[in-house]
Amino acid sequence: MALQVSLDKFKKQQEMCQKTLSSIKASSNSTPRVTPYNPANAKSAAPVVKFSSDIERLQQINTIRCSSAAAQTKRVIDLLKETRQALTAEQINGACYVDVKANKDVFDRLSNNLKVYYDGTRFVYKPKHDLKDKTQLLKLIQNFPDGIAIADLQDAYPSVDHDLKALKAAGKIWLLSNFEFS
């Protein structure tokens, strides 16, 4: 008897589902139909990125990862000097494809490098003289009456060459050699 009741319930559910499907079909006749995607019909679709389009980038990553630890370290230091930002290992990997976490030799070279400060999570470029602007630059130069090497100043901040030219033009400093600014 319980089996008959369950069978009747199942038949009623089937009838309700059939009615729902019929009403959906009836309403879909009046609305526009959605057709499956066909690449031949797609005229304004975004271009499909193929693996072969990415070969150059993958080859570059492979070349970098197969290079020596010294070359990879230099690449990271150049990135840090250029950006002047504190970057995590993940950010470095994303920017220049050097995996600092996976390569212990590169990590050790960076964390022990005099030009790099590592606080435990981030790497940042550390110039020889911590200067931010022309005023600080002039004060530093005045502290060295016998002179200071331009090379020691050039990594202080990105526009230091411009500020040195401006200070020379204003007559506040003079250069011992005919050094050409880059």
Q: Please check the confidence at residue 154 and state whether its pLDDT lies above 90.
A: no
**What is the per-residue pLDDT for 107?**
96
What is the rounded CA–CA span in Å between residue 164 and residue 138?
9
Residue 98 has pLDDT above 90, yes or no: yes
Residue 119 pLDDT = 94
Instruction: With a cut of 60, say whether residue 97 has pLDDT above it.
Output: yes
pLDDT attached to residue 15: 87
Residues 75, 64: Cα–Cα separation, whole Å: 9
State the pLDDT at residue 110: 96
Q: Residue 48: pLDDT band by 50, 70, 90 thresholds? A: low
Q: Is the pLDDT of residue 23 over 80?
A: no
CA distance 118 to 73: 14
Q: In angstroms, rounded to a whole number, what is the distance separating the alpha carbons of residues 106 and 118?
A: 13
Residue 179's pLDDT band (boundaries 50, 70, 90)?
Answer: low
Look at residue 104 in the predicted model and tell me its pLDDT. Answer: 96
- Please state, as a whole number, how many other Cβ atoms lie within 10 Å of the Cβ of residue 160: 20
Q: How far apart are CA 131 and CA 138, in angstroms?
A: 10
Query: Is residue 43's pLDDT more than 70?
Result: no
73 vs 89: CA distance, rounded Å: 12
Residue 150 has what pLDDT? 84
pLDDT per residue over 116-136, tens digit each?
999 999 999 999 888 888 899
Q: What percent of the chain has pLDDT over 70?
A: 80
Per the structure block, which two tokens stand in for 106?
């590169």
pLDDT per residue as tens digits for the range 49-86: 566 667 888 888 899 999 999 999 999 999 999 999 99
